[in-house]
Structure 1
Amino acid sequence: MSVDSVFVHKMWDDHELSKMVTGGIPFPMLSDGGGKVGEAYGVYDPDAGVENRGRFIIDPDGIIQGYEVLSPPVGRYVAETIRQIQAFQLVRATKGAEATPSGWKPGKLTLKPGPDLVGKVWEVWKVSMESE
């Protein structure tokens, strides 16, 4: 979503995105003309008439579980967004019985939150495990 019109989005998809992603992006791009949605999420800059690059992960209950806001010249890392969505999905599916450490990826070690883990995370998880 951006303050750009649906026509600008279509041109961007036709002439740019479809060359980067086969068939174009698999979701609709929405127009936030006037920045009302961006204002509600705190990313609209009324002086410049643009929205900062914001990414919001919203769960099925409508609760924001994660977000990142970057200034316009800095792009987002799509693979990290997907990783975080997978992590949130796992935590939700296990009803919080599992937590994902930094850099977690599907199939990797999860943590079992609770009093027995407090002060002992270092015993089961190391920063070097992020790249494994």
Structure 2
Amino acid sequence: MPGKAFLVLRNSLTMPGNPARAGLLLKAFYMYYLYILYSVSSALYYVGHTNNPVRRLTEHNNSEMSTYTSKHRPWILKAVFSCGEREAEAIRIERFIKKQKSQKLLERIIAAEPLTGILAQLVRVPTSRDQFPA
């Protein structure tokens, strides 16, 4: 579920110097996602990463700041992919896609065509079109 934190419990007795009174240490992990937006008005794609695709889409469509995405509204969510618990991995994949500068590549990713290399690890969120409003 987007934006949900997963809690990991560890026994603090095995971690010297830990002041946790209950004997447990809580650590939050977020799932990170790669998302692809499309601007019908400008016929452009945008790729980004986030831990909450619904919030991020809303920000792109409603932010009062003057940004690249504010100039090409409205945006619709074309695809969302799970990238795991490491934000660095989501950033690495996002940068790779952006460096390709290829609309055809983005359309292949959206169409769920077989991918190789770094993109082979992408796991599409199956209900992205239903779960995340346009």
Same fold (TM over 0.5): no
TM class by shorter chain equals under 0.3
Structure (1 or 2) with the greater strand fraction:
2
TM-score when normalising by structure 2? 0.26
RCO comparison, higher one (Cα < 8 Å, 6+):
2
